[in-house]
Amino acid sequence: MAIFHKNTLAQVSGFSNSIIAGELVYNQQTYWNLALTDTAGTAVNLTGATIDASILRRSVTNIIDTRNGLTFDIADYTVTTPSPIALTISNRVNASGTFTLLIDESTWSVASNDTQLDINAANCVGFSGRLKIAFPASGTTPADDSIIFLLFLVRSDGVTN
C-alpha cells in the first residue's frame, strides 16, 4: 500500500478532514469496514442517516516517491468528460454505527489498454471523491453532513498492459 505525503492528502481533503486513500491494482476488489464513533468512543447511531459515496476520474501528474510518501498534482480529467461513479455501501448496522465501503475497480471504466496503466507510465490513473453521511434534523438539532474524502491511484500489476 502506498504512503501518501501529508501535503498531497491536504491537497484533496484540506488540513483537518478525514480521508481514505489507497493505491489499487487494475481490476482489484477490496473494502473498508468503517465504524463511526463520537469523541467519547460511543457508536454513532446511523438510523435515519443517508450514506452514499462517489468518485470521479482525475488527472494525476508529477508523481514523485519521496522519503515522506507520494507527492503529485491532481486536476480535472479532460481526456473525456467523466461521470461520477457510485460506490456500494453494504453491511450497514445502524445501532453500532458500522458499514462497509466496497471498492471494485473493474466497474470504474478503466480500460486495460489505458496508457496510464502502462508498466512504465510516469503518471497513473487517479480517482477522487467523497463518502457522505447525511444525518437528518432531529428536534432542535439541525441536519448535519459528515464527509470523508476519497483518493485512489490505480496502477498496472505488470501483467495487464
Evaluate whether residue 134 is within a structural domain.
yes
Evaluate whether residue 29 is within a structural domain.
yes
Specify the CATH number for the domain of residue 70: 2.60.40
Reading the chain (161 residues) residue by residue, the pLDDT tens digits are: 567 767 777 767 666 788 888 888 888 889 999 999 998 999 999 999 999 999 998 988 888 888 878 888 888 988 887 889 999 999 999 999 999 999 988 788 777 777 777 777 778 888 999 999 999 998 898 999 999 999 988 887 777 65
**What are the start-end ranges of the H helices in the chain?**
6-13
The residue range of the domain holding 142 is 6-110+122-155
Q: What is the pLDDT of residue 49?
A: 96
Evaluate whether residue 12 is within a structural domain.
yes
Evaluate whether residue 116 is within a structural domain.
no
Q: What is the pLDDT of residue 18?
A: 86
Evaluate whether residue 22 is within a structural domain.
yes
Q: What is the pLDDT of residue 2?
A: 65
Evaluate whether residue 70 is within a structural domain.
yes
Evaluate whether residue 161 is within a structural domain.
no
Q: How far is it, in rounded angstroms, from Cα 131 to Cα 20?
A: 9
29 contact partners, CB below 8 Å, separation of at least 6: 102, 103, 104, 105, 106
Evaluate whether residue 60 is within a structural domain.
yes
- Count of domains observed in the chain: 1
